[in-house]
Amino acid sequence: MCNSKISKLEEEQHNMKLKMTEMMNLLKEHLVGGKVTPSEGQSRNVPQSNNIQSPKSIALEKRHNFTEGKNACYLLDWADAIVAEGRWDSSDPNITVHGKPLGPDFMRVWVDVAIVPESYLFRPNHAMLTIQEAVGSTVAWPSKKVIPRDMTSEV
């Protein structure tokens, strides 16, 4: 009896992992506009749509002059999709962002343009939960997820 429950739970976990991987790949395709190949042993039918705008085209539409400086950067989410444009300000772990120390491995970044407005902040606070709510303000963002614009040729 116990072995059958364990087997059933293991099968459910395996199926959930496959679904999660599929959802992550779909999200990457939608947000980044790139092709993501399924992992070995997985198959999926991904509907193709010509109406989905890539972050590149959205950024071109929304770009402002203040995102053109030497500190101009892209902010990436946990799945490495571009969610905003901004300007990095500091990586000093002792400075504060909204009253809390920045800490190691984070940067203080000004958010100028929300490319994927509903994306969640890495460190939300009482006033801001999404990248759209952070436009015009500074946020703490993981250093590995801040990409200088002069290092990219995407937009």
Tell me the residue range of the domain where 2 lies.
Answer: 1-41
More confident residue, 26 or 51: 26
The answer to whether residues 32 and 62 belong to one domain is no
The answer to whether residues 146 and 81 belong to one domain is yes
The answer to whether residues 12 and 35 belong to one domain is yes
Q: How many domains does the chain have?
A: 2
Q: Is residue 46 part of a domain?
A: no
pTM of the model: 0.56
Q: Is residue 97 part of a domain?
A: yes
Mean pLDDT score, 77-103: 93
The answer to whether residues 66 and 116 belong to one domain is yes
> CA neighbours within 13 Å on the CB side: how many for 126?
3
User: What span, in angstroms and rounded, lies between the C-alpha atoms of 88 and 129?
Assistant: 19
State residue 73's pLDDT score.
94
pLDDT in tens, 46-67: 334 444 445 444 444 544 444 5
The answer to whether residues 76 and 27 belong to one domain is no
Q: Is residue 48 part of a domain?
A: no
Q: Is residue 132 part of a domain?
A: yes
Q: Is residue 47 part of a domain?
A: no
* SS3 labels along the chain: CHHHHHHHHHHHHHHHHHHHHHHHHHHHHHHHCCCCCCCCCCCCCCCCCCCCCCHHHHHHHHCCHHHCCCCEEEEECCCCCEEEEEEEEECCCCCEECCEECCCCEEEEEEEEECCCCCECCCCCCCCCECHHHECCEEEEEHHHEEEHHHCCCC
State residue 78's pLDDT score.
92
